[in-house]
Structure 1
Amino acid sequence: MPAPNALRASLPGLAAAAAAVVLCLLLHRMFPAVPVLTAAVLLGLLAGNVPGPAAVAAGRWRPGLAFSAKKFLRLGIVLLGLKVSLLDIAELGWLTVALIIALVAFSFGATYLVCRAFRLPGEEPVLVAAGFSICGVSAVGAVAAARGIRAERTAVPAAMVTLCGTLAIAVLPLLGAVLGLSPERFGFLAGASVHDVGQVVATAQTGGAAALALAVVVKLVRVLMLAPVSALAGLYHRRTAGTSAGKFPPLVPLFVAGFVAAVALRTTGLLPAGMLDAAALAQELLFAAALFGLGASVNLRSLARTGGRAAAASLVSWAIIVAAALGLAVLLVPA
């Protein structure tokens, strides 16, 4: 937690983030097709770029919004671990799990290469690749921490994975209908190609209970890769940066270790359903506050110079991932 003086300075921004989360929840209730996290990104962009609010966001709100973008995101990642049960994953069988992990590796590599081909700047390619291949904004935050990337530099990748994941909610059910996919194949496709867990649920539930059940378990295999991929990203950063880079961030950030502990706790089956539901709600609220803070840090004039390339790279990458996931669904899941 911030020191007393820092806490006082953070209060206006924290209050703004809390108000934004409430507004996002209301918007989602009025328009269920608008996901809470997407609304949070868009509200953040408005707050950071509309004259008047932008000056406040860059001034009095800045400490609190920065705190939300960094700390709330990390706490949400820890709570994400409570959704992952190793027992549920084991029921898929070792071959299916191995092929899903291979799909994660392929998705990461393909997305990274596409982003490099579109000349995305700095660390954006690796952050977008992490978000698209693993679990959306959670993976963006974890890999950024492992590589020592400042939170404000994750805003564009976080926006891309959130917006493309939202697009999946509308596009994949249409694709499944056109291709005549069975509920199980559609569920596998959703779990293997949609970014955030909440977006997977929103997409797969359109295919019924069987689709949703398989989609969630497939997605959890991808979520489980958060810890090893973060560690590998940190190790690669240390090896390539050399000794001149000074002090390195922890190889496995503390909140990623917390995520692993939460996975272990969920696997024990000791937590009651009510507590798991409360944790899931808290995670969504924390992520919404974090994405509002990240969105408010984006300068749309600067984004306009690379935003088109980022969006194009994201769409191409997601199309490749969907095609690969569809092929794996046809291979593994009976019609």
Structure 2
Amino acid sequence: MAETMQEGAARHGVDDRTVIDPEFFSGDLFGELGLVEETPERRRPRIALGRYIPGLGLCGTIAIAATWLSEHYGPPAILMALLMGLALNFAALDARTHTGLDLVARLGLRIGIVLIGFQVTAAQIVAIGLVPFLALLGIMAAAFAGGMAGARLSGQSRYAGILAGGATSICGASAALALYGVIGRDRLTQAQFALTLVGIAMASALAMTAYPVLAAQLGFDDRAAGFLIGASVHDVAQAIGGGYSYSDAAGVEATIVKLARVALLAPAVLVVSLWIGQRPQVEEQSLIRRLAPPWFIAGFVALLVINSLIAVPQPLAGSASMTAKALLVLAVTATALRSRTDLIVQLGWRAFMPVLSATLASFLVAVTLTYFVFVG
């Protein structure tokens, strides 16, 4: 005899007050399998780990291939990873790869930056000197002014110029996110914000490829090339990658200069918020929380201090260096795979003008000041 729904619920340990799907008890076997398969405690670990595998597998495969090409044919591994990632970014259209790629592009990059702290000392930062630091501030100001000018010439609002100029002058997408939190969607559309991120990613990828070559053609030494790349490439991963594609010494210099720009994110956001006025949603957060530096910058500084105060064992420093380079290769690969090159065809050229003008202004002023500071 077929049992009633209430009897079936009681036999399965379900309270009769619970809303029950009749199809759930269409058969004892299927009902029991459903109870087993839908148990959250059993499913959660598999989902939590499995969702990263497609992206990590795709990114790791390309990174290994890029490293192999670098070891056998000579070009820098990071440069090969960037080019291969851009060429194969159609593979990242599968949404299952996004979680793993985003993990590598964000967490992997930040851990890599922290580990680079073992390669830098306080003496090296002081060695940058007052004049190069002032030159860096001039380059950042030029990038910001270029973004504002591009927005004005293309008929866009000043907020588009602030977003593009600030992101270009400081640290790319991270700065864009911080600045957009102050500007808000009521002042600047999400479409313009997304397009700014795409433009920054494309400009950074191009700069990472072209700037080391241009620095070599101009006859810049490692320090000058590292300063040029670190002072003018937008995103952290591309700036560091471009520096290391020139040489290890240029990579360290580019890292120091780039992180000096990142350290200026907090005062830059504060100045912008005071200039345009805070939104009510942002005002609810404490000032200290809004201006707190990213955790990976704090980690980088911590390891830098340790490396400056004590002699780090060479095996530990060497392992940290190898791990940092591997993570940067993976981060650049993931960033390239996630670059939406197809959006350029869909969106108008005017929306790219603030990023383009900010990039050109940053590069021209950077080349000029680098030449006078380090060569002339």
Normalised by the size of structure 1, how large is the TM-score? 0.70
Question: Is 1:143–1:229's contact at 8 Å kept on the other side of the alignment?
Answer: yes
Between 1:72-81 and 1:323-332, the stretch displaced more is: 323-332
Structure 1: state its 5+ residue gaps: 177-182, 206-211
CA drift of 1:11 comes to: 1.9
Aligned residues: 307
1:243-292, CA deviations, whole angstroms, 9 ceiling, x for partnerless residues? 23587675323233223323323332532344334333323322332333
Give the Cα separation in 1 of the matches to 2:144 and 2:102.
30
Cα root mean square deviation, aligned? 4.2
- Show the 5 A alignment for 1:122-141: 129=165, 133=169, 139-140=171-172
Structure-2 change in CA distance of 1:13 and 1:327 (3 Å): closer
Question: Is 1:10–1:61's contact at 8 Å kept on the other side of the alignment?
Answer: yes
Give 2:175's aligned amino acid: V
1:43-80, CA deviations, whole angstroms, 9 ceiling, x for partnerless residues? 3344442xxx355x32x323212222222223233234
CA drift of 1:188 comes to: 5.2
Residue 76 in 1 paired to residue 112 in 2?
yes
Residue 251 in 1 paired to residue 291 in 2?
yes
Give 2:208's aligned amino acid: G
Which of 23, 27, 45 aligns to 2:65? It is 23
Structure-2 change in CA distance of 1:318 and 1:14 (3 Å): same
Question: Is 1:37–1:162's contact at 8 Å kept on the other side of the alignment?
Answer: no
Cross-structure match for 1:106: 141
Cross-structure match for 2:260: 224
Which of 258, 264, 282 aligns to 2:305? It is 264
Question: Is 1:24–1:39's contact at 8 Å kept on the other side of the alignment?
Answer: yes
Cross-structure match for 1:242: 279
Give 2:212's aligned amino acid: I
CA drift of 1:22 comes to: 0.7
1:171-195, CA deviations, whole angstroms, 9 ceiling, x for partnerless residues? 222233xxxxxx6xx5554233213
The higher radius of gyration belongs to: 2
Structure-2 change in CA distance of 1:307 and 1:223 (3 Å): farther
Which of 59, 66, 74 aligns to 2:102? It is 66
Normalised by the size of structure 2, how large is the TM-score? 0.64
Cross-structure match for 2:56: 14
Which of 130, 140, 143 aligns to 2:175? It is 143
Structure-2 change in CA distance of 1:332 and 1:287 (3 Å): closer
Give the Cα separation in 2 of the matches to 1:122 and 1:43.
36
Which of 325, 328, 348 aligns to 1:287? It is 328
CA drift of 1:313 comes to: 6.7
CA drift of 1:168 comes to: 1.5
Identity of aligned residues (%): 21
Residue 85 in 1 paired to residue 129 in 2?
no
Cross-structure match for 2:218: 175
Give 2:264's aligned amino acid: P
Residue 304 in 1 paired to residue 339 in 2?
no
Give the Cα separation in 1 of the matches to 2:318 and 2:122.
18
Question: Bigger relative contact order, structure 1 or 2, given CA contacts below 8 A and separation 6+?
Answer: 1
Equivalent position SS for 2:74: coil
Question: Is 1:48–1:297's contact at 8 Å kept on the other side of the alignment?
Answer: yes
Give the Cα separation in 2 of the matches to 1:119 and 1:38.
36
